[in-house]
Amino acid sequence: MSNPILVIAEVRGGKLRQVSLEALQAARIAAGENAEISSVIIGSGITALAGELAGYTGGKVYAVDHPDLASYNAPAYLQAVKGIVLELQPNRVFLGHTAEGRDLAPQIAALIGAGQISDVIAIEPGEQYKRPIYAGKAFEEKRFLSSSGVVTVRPNNIPPASAADSPGEVVDREYAPPGDLRSIVRDVVRKAGGKVDLAEAKIVISGGRGVKSADGFRPLEELADVLGAAVGASRGACDAGYCDYALQIGQTGKVVTPEVYIACGISGAIQHLAGMSQSRVIIAVNKDPEAPIFKVADYGIVGDLFEVVPLLTAEFRKVLA
């Protein structure tokens, strides 16, 4: 593959996102260790982060730093990368498969007439991109037919890039706000502070109909606090109104692949299993010994979650203290 390769890095909560380093690693795998990889970082007050990114890429880092870019806005961010993309005419563009990446990637693909392969979990020899379909009930490998291609990388699947031998050069790029902004962000309400993001969480504690009420999530939240985990839910729990749909894991909802997945009071409907069965270690707590969730669980506890989960919390607190 000929150069150039472009990685579009993402800033969230004042930090460079881990998935951006995973996207960088994906670019290295696809293009070869020696390929020169340029990158773009967009935000407000990102000088230090651009430097940090350059330490990983070893290639040029285009920093687009402007108060209007403090948070994601589709036309503004497209405007920020447009000039760079049109100038470099990259062969490949890599982004994280995040709220921002999912939104920006198809715009870039449309801009340069590129194909796009979304939600990639591995890159196989011959530049074949492996990705889940039917939320992980099956996997396909795809390749590009177009000369240029855009790739979004699912968090937590490709190892993050390690530091480059020598840091790359940071190039500041001017941002010219588009004259006619037909979409403006009026307000952003951040989710409750300190909560771990579901897609990127190393440990996910998930509740189903068995939690019985919104309050029933409290023991799960306590366990999550001890483990630094994110809390998720099954469709059953969301449909019953015990929690917000943002927590839903499954074929509708989010697909998660954490190190440890703890399913509490979840029976294990096919559509839920699709969203979590690629987790490394699965633990199921359920009253019903016949629940299908036990068929995919590495460790199962047949019992009442309201008794078992607080015991687990106490036990983890002891060993992690």
Partner 1 sequence: MHIYVLLKQTFDTEEKIVIENGAVSDDGVKFVINPYDEYAVEEALQQRDSHGGKVTVLSVGPGRSAEALRQALAMGADEAVLISDERIAADEGAAAAALEAFLSSQPFDLLLGGNFSVDSGGGQVAVRLASRLGIPHAASITSLEISGSGAVVKRDAEGDTETLELSLPALFTAQQGLNEPRYPSLPNIMKAKKKPFQTLTLDDLGLAEAPPLTERVSIALPPERGAGQILKGAPAEQAAKLVELLRTEAKAI
Binding positions for partner 1, 86-115, rule CB under 8 A: 98-100, 102-103, 105-107, 109-111, 113-115
CA–CA dist 280, 253 (Å, integer): 20
Binding to partner 1 (CB under 8 A) within 161-200 occurs at 182-191, 195, 197-199
| Least distance (Å) between residue 170 CB and partner 1 | 27
Binding to partner 1 (CB under 8 A) within 223-252 occurs at 227, 238, 244-246, 248, 250-252
Q: Is 267 in the site for partner 1 (CB under 8 A)?
A: no
Q: Is 214 in the site for partner 1 (CB under 8 A)?
A: no
**Contact present, 305 and 211 (Cβ < 8 Å):** yes
Binding to partner 1 (CB under 8 A) within 8-67 occurs at none
Q: CB nearer to partner 1: give 158 or 260.
A: 260
- Please give the helix or strand (H or E) that residue 37 lies within, else none: strand 37-43
- For 18, the 3-state DSSP assignment is helix
Binding to partner 1 (CB under 8 A) within 274-313 occurs at 274, 277-278, 280-283, 289, 294-304, 307-308, 311-312
CA–CA dist 50, 209 (Å, integer): 45
For 10, 88, 115, 142, the CA distances from 98, given in Å and listed in that order, are 9, 24, 18, 20
Q: Is 314 in the site for partner 1 (CB under 8 A)?
A: yes
Nearest CA among 161, 158, 75 for reference residue 124: 158
**Contact present, 271 and 245 (Cβ < 8 Å):** no
8-state DSSP, 108: H
| Least distance (Å) between residue 165 CB and partner 1 | 31
Q: CB nearer to partner 1: give 41 or 249.
A: 249
